[in-house]
Structure 1
Amino acid sequence: MCGFAGYITTDGKGSEYKEDLIEMMNSIKHRGPDDEGTHIDDMAGLGFRRLSIIGITNGKQPMYNEDGSIVVTFNGEIYNYQDIKADLIEKGHIFKTDADTEVLVHGYEEYGKDLLQKLRGMYAFAIWNREKKEMLMARDIFGIKPLFYTQTENDFVFGSEIKAILKFPTVKKEFNPEALESYLSFQYSILKETFFKGIFRLPPAHYLLWKDGKIEIERYYSPEFNTDESITFDEAVKKVNDVMADSIAAHKISDTEVGGFLSGGVDSSYIVARSNLDKTFSVGFDYPRCNEIPLAKTLSDYVGVKNKSKLITTEEYFEEFPKIMNHVDEPLSDPSCIALYFLCKLASEQVKVVLSGEGSDELFGGYNIYKSPIALKPMMAIPRPVRRGVRKILTKLPVNFKGKNYMIRAGLDLEERYIGNAYIFHTPEVYKMLKKPIKKYTPESITKPIYDKVKDKDDITKMQYLDINTWLWGDILNKADTMSMAHSLEVRVPFLDKEVAKVAFSIPVEHRVDKHETKRYFRKAASEFMPDITAERKKLGFPIPVRNWLREDKYYNLVKDTLTSKEADLFFNTDYLVNLLDRHYHEKCDNSRKIWTVYAFVLWYQKHFAAAC
């Protein structure tokens, strides 16, 4: 895993930006401290920072074809590179290295952009064709690896992180207010245009072709649930165990030691139990219900692996949070990202590569909220107009009673009530809290094109499909890449594999979720390799005691100072924010996620744009 950055100029002055390219590379040195390399010609510059994992001695980048007309920079791993390499050698291509990067060089020569259909891995890359004067860029099918770009009057600029792009002299650093409204609902940056005006993310499973100053972006892969209703539960169990054995073996290919993240949950436990690793790493908090270290120790003892752990104190968390908001390019309000930061730091002290359990919930149906369509099914017998009418009455009723929220939810269509795994602020509340709401996007307008592609599917499948296309890359994989790369650590995710997805998308919904259990067939598969108590454990995520912290005077006051700062006052009606905080502090309701979402944004803005205030 590495990082790259570069530019293309249309004025023939490409060679004049050498020092700027060095600055771009230095800004992402944390992604690759082991080596660096550049390519500069009169039209383009490509810079690379390397974390050496495969082909350590001869995998230097940028990498070229035989005559130097094709130049490649690549971040990630191609797990089937040996198969592709054998095919290309048969076709007459000559390889000079042991690195997986070289299959991109010769694969592009042989197949052009059709090479993307052959790749199995996590990747973002840029291929500069000096003869055709065009660039092909692509991002892996799930969005494990990031890639950003912008186009100025004469220049096309790109990089693994936004901070590298901002180092280029013709790129203007400007806040994008349109990103804020959707962030407040989703808790992450979901628009194609980032929090920096004019700087865009290349979506997962897309390629970008630049030529003559014009950009063409196309999707080359789409996750499709084509269930095979003939598959029995036991067959589903066998299929997932077989494909995961293959995926884990592929993800362990490395010239350096591979470790593993280990919590008390089934996902990381399954990876560790089947990977034959030597070292695992865990973190917890100094709150009883937020400490998974004992559970991780139990599993590590069960499978016979070493486990190194760290108990994160509240003081450490709040001390590091502002520093992390300074490091990240866009605000991350998922509180677990800080726990992941400490976990990556712990692992990086002993290994360069770890296996992790991201993606299982989206592919296999693991989130508890996926049971909601089953819970609401009895209400679906009531005509829709009646349900919506009841909801309208109940939302205005000041009295709370058992079943009220259930009936309110039943009055909404899935597409209205579910925008992903997090729904922090609903649109009316966003408009109340912002001083100058733009009102360009609503959560529903963002998710509608995704829902439209699965109109014929059941509600559980629709929810999974939406999360794969939003939450997975926007929150889960974003924080994994950002926090791991901050410590020069490569995180590999065996669940997020093309072959695993093929199996997952074929499994009937009743094997995935019922009213009692999520990812049913996977839990049964996991029970063959770990104690039942671990395989059956309810989904918790990364438990963070934010709710408790915001009811302690010290942290209540710290957060309140931020929510009433001059930076917060630029965007928010701060009295509204203080009311949210006070109601939480006095235990009138749980506003912790709402408060934390705003708090993270204001801290991030202070670190990146404070001079504008």
Structure 2
Amino acid sequence: MCGFTAVFSTNQEALNKYPLETITAVITHRGPDDYGYYKSPGVQFGFRRLSIIDLPHGHQPMTYDNGRYTIVFNGEIYNAPELRDRMKKRGATFQTSSDTEVILASFKHEGKKSFTNFRGMFAFLIWDSRTETLTGARDPFGIKPLYIKKDGDAVLFASEKKSLTLFDKKPGINKDVLPAYLTFQYAPEPLTSTSNITKVPPGHIIELKRETGKLTLKPYSQPEFNPTIQEKASAVGKIRRAVEESVEFHLRSDVPVSTFLSGGIDSTAITALVKQMKPDVKAFTAEFADARYSEADTARKTAEVLGLDHHVVTITPEQVVKELPKIIWHMDEPVADPAAIPLYFVAKEAAEHSKVVLSGEGADELFAGYNIYKEPGSLRLFDFLPTGMKKQIHSLALKIPHGVKGRGFLQRGTTPLRERFTGNARIFDPAEVEEYLFETKGASAFDFTAPLYDYAKRKGWDPVTTMQYVDMHTWLRGDILAKADKMTMAHSLELRVPFLDKEVFQVASSLPVSGKVSRKQTKIWLREALADVVPAHVVERKKLGFPVPVRLWLKDELYDWARLILTQSPASDTIFDKGACVRLLEEHVQGKHDHSRKIWTILTYMLWHKQATQSRRTITDASDLKDII
């Protein structure tokens, strides 16, 4: 796991505008073990290395084929040994045992089509000095980030956005993304909250030729669902074998490996399988003082059953306020998922013991683990009603006072899926957005999800598969994987996600709805596949997630802090309606409604906005943030 920067231009002056050492130093936390630079006419690379595989010889930027190809690479290719043998049969020679050199050999002998063979997480750029062409790619799930910025004659790339904003004379706040942000709680990819910076989409290849300076972006691998009626026992066996093999591949490392352990089946399954393969594995859990917002007791019981070396981190509201500016700085973007907080603290503890940690992200999207996926089953009776009757019921439901039991059920049942589901998070309803923003000219969340629903309709997918597809293209890459990468790399810790593996997805993508979700349970066949390795108290446990007690904090310990930000933020009365935001907080404190997630979404943006618009001094370390708030 590492971080890199790159500057491409047909104009040498443009190349010199961005001091390579400086824009690379700002991401030292991604790779404190080593660094390197490469400069040639047309392109410059900067690199920071976290040494995981082939510790002595994995230095980057790495050159290959007598200097023709040079690469900067962030990630891991888990099937590198198998691909190395394949390339040797094609005449390739190797000087190292690193997966970086395997990418270069594969590119030389098989070109861009070789990228589909990579089993892992990756973002990389390769410079071909003979053709003066820059080629890059990002893994199909979007596990590893790759930001891109166009600035006149130059095109810049980086593993983190902060490298690309260091020399901006004024911040380019992308207000157009705000309506969608308030619904999603993050800026939907490929957009960011900075107007001149985007992300290379997952599963895409990017190419730049020095001769023309033209940039092309093309998909090479996109996850596709293909639900198929199949025999249960066979499918369960395939799931088990695929997950086991993936865990084995993800344990390939020359440094110690640990796991994150919550109270859910996903992280427990990964931890249990790792324990079988590496008996001395350490597991790490976060907890809060309020037992209603903690899975630590369940994790402790799991650790006892499995015989784990278990470490639990306890988090206080005071720690959250102190560290939140650093958390947001490391996130690069306003991502208002409170789960980033425990992830940040548990990663900090895990980094004291190992460089690599395995986690359970991705299982919910692949195997239908979110409780919201039960909804199509519970609302099925509405499918038999005439359209006219559904409209009448919907109008009636709107007249029922808020809080009355059954109102929401009638509303959801008479609202088409594409109008009620925007992904796993829906903080502000798109219709509410203009109440809190002064400008709402940007696209709404529905504008981003509409093409996904159109595609799912063409494929003829059922509602549950459609919801999974929407989540994979919104929630998974915009929230889950974004915070997983940034919160672990903040502490120079590599996070690996065995469920997000091409072979695991091939099995999961073929499952019928009956093997994924019912009105009572989620991830049905996955649970059966792992029942003999996961302790019984976890197998049928309902999903709790990574809960954070912001609802209680905003009423008590964090109330004064939150009100101060809402009233004094530079974004108040310029982006947000201060009065509406304060009313939201007061209604929450008075117990009229639970507005905690809405308030947290606004607070997160305001904190990010203050950092983004502060004096344009260079920030090279999180310790430079002490005066931000």
Q: TM-score normalized by structure 1?
A: 0.97
Cα distance per residue 1:492-543 (max 9 Å; x no partner): 0000000000000111110100111000111112211122221111011101
What do residues 555-602 of structure 1 show as CA deviations (whole Å, max 9, x unaligned)? Answer: 112101111124122111111111111111111111111111001100
- Residues matched between the structures, number: 608
Specify the code of the residue in structure 2 equivalent to 1:577.
C
Aligned to 2:81: 82
Q: 1:346 aligns with which of 345, 349, 363?
A: 349
Distance 1:604 1:29, change over 3 A: same
Q: What residue number does 1:11 align with?
A: 11
State the match for 1:546 in structure 2: 550
Once the 2 structures are TM-superposed, how far is the Cα of residue 372 of structure 1 from its aligned partner?
A: 0.3
Query: 1:486 corresponds to which residue?
Result: 490
- State the distance in 2 between where 1:34 and 1:88 align: 29
Checking the alignment, whether the CA contact within 8 Å between 1:152 and 1:171 is kept in structure 2 is: no
Contact 1:186-1:423 at 8 Å conserved across structures: yes
In the alignment, what sits opposite 1:175? 173
Would the alpha carbon gap of residues 585 and 219 (structure 1) be closer, same or farther in structure 2, given more than 3 Å must change? same
Q: Which residue of 1 aligns with 2:447?
A: 445
Which residue does 1:532 correspond to in 2? 536
Shift of 1:170: 7.6
1:570 aligns to what SS in structure 2? Answer: coil
Q: d(CA) in 2 for partners of 1:391 and 1:279?
A: 52
Shift of 1:227: 2.1
Partner AA of 1:193 in structure 2 = L
Identity of aligned residues (%): 40
Distance 1:181 1:345, change over 3 A: same
Q: Any residues of structure 2 matched to 1:373-392 within 5 Å, and which?
A: 373-392=376-395
597, 601, 610: which one aligns with 2:601: 597
In 1: Cα distance, 2:378 partner to 2:150 partner:
48
The residue aligned with 1:125 is 124
2:509 to 493, 505, 508: 505
Task: Name the counterpart of 1:228.
Answer: 228
Taking the TM superposition and a 5 Å limit, the aligned residue runs for 1:294-305 are: 294-305=297-308
Correspondence for 1:53: 52
Note the C-alpha offset of 1:244.
Answer: 0.8
**Superposition deviation, residue 184 in structure 1:** 0.5
Deviations 1:153-208 (A, max 9, x none): 211111101111223x5886411111222111100110423111111101111111
Following the alignment from structure 2 to structure 1, what is the Cα–Cα distance between the partners of residues 559 and 170? 36
Q: Give 2:619's aligned residue.
A: none
The structure-2 alpha-carbon separation of the partners of 1:166 and 1:610, relative to structure 1 and needing over 3 Å to count, comes to closer
CA distance in 2, matches of 1:27, 1:155: 20
Contact in 2 for aligned 1:286/1:314 (Cα 8 Å): no
Tell me which amino acid in the other structure corresponds to 1:249.
E
Aligned-partner Cα distance in 2 for 1:15–1:221: 32
The 5 A counterparts of 1:90-105 are 90-105=89-104
Within 5 A, what are the aligned runs for 1:325-364?
325-364=328-367
Query: How far does residue 386 in structure 1 lie from its aligned partner after superposition?
Result: 1.8
Secondary structure at the counterpart of residue 448 of structure 1: helix
Q: CA deviation at 1:611?
A: 4.6
Query: Would you say 1:217 and 2:178 are equivalent positions?
Result: no
Which residue identity does 1:271 align to in structure 2? Answer: I
SS at structure 1 position matched to 2:19: helix
Q: 1:140 to 1:575 in 2, by over 3 A?
A: same
User: Following the alignment from structure 1 to structure 2, what is the Cα–Cα distance between the partners of residues 30 and 379?
Assistant: 52
Q: Residue 484 of structure 1: SS of its match in structure 2?
A: helix
Which structure 2 segments of 5+ residues have no match? 617-627
Q: Is the 8 A contact 1:155 1:170 kept in 2?
A: no
1:154-193 equivalences under 5 Å are 154-167=153-166, 173-193=171-191
Instruction: Give the Cα separation in 2 of the matches to 1:27 and 1:388.
Output: 55
Q: Report the residue type matching 1:73 in the other structure.
A: V
Asked if 2 retains the 8 angstrom alpha-carbon contact of 1:14 and 1:44, the reply is no
Match of 2:624 in 1: none
Correspondences of 1:183-582 after superposition (within 5 Å): 183-211=181-209, 212-229=212-229, 231-276=230-275, 277=278, 278-398=281-401, 400-438=403-441, 440-455=442-457, 456-552=460-556, 554-567=557-570, 568-582=572-586
Moved more, 383-392 or 57-66: 383-392
Residues of 2 paired with 1:223 and 1:105: CA distance? 24
One-letter amino acid of the counterpart of residue 505, structure 2? A
| Rounded Cα–Cα distance in structure 2 between residues aligned with 1:105 and 1:78 | 12
Q: CA RMSD in A?
A: 1.6
Tell me how far 1:300 sits from its aligned partner. Answer: 1.4
Q: Which amino acid aligns with 1:408?
A: Q
SS of alignment partner, residue 264 of structure 1: coil
Contact 2:256/2:354 (<8 A) preserved: yes
Deviates further, 413-422 or 448-457: 448-457
SS in 2 for 1:564: helix
Q: CA deviation at 1:469?
A: 1.3
**Tell me, what secondary structure is at the counterpart of 1:237?**
helix
Structure 1: segments with no counterpart, 5+ residues: none
TM-superposition CA deviations, 1:376-432 (whole Å, max 9, x none): 011221112321232123213436532121011111100000000000111221112
CA distance in 2, matches of 1:475, 1:398: 33
How far apart are the structure 2 equivalents of 1:375 and 1:170? 51
| Aligned-pair CA distance for 1:453 | 1.5
TM-score normalised by structure 2 residue count: 0.94
**Alpha-carbon deviations, 1:278-330, whole Å to 9, x = none?**
21111100101112222112111211220011111121122211222233211
Would the aligned equivalents of 1:259 and 1:279 in 2 still touch at CA under 8 Å? yes
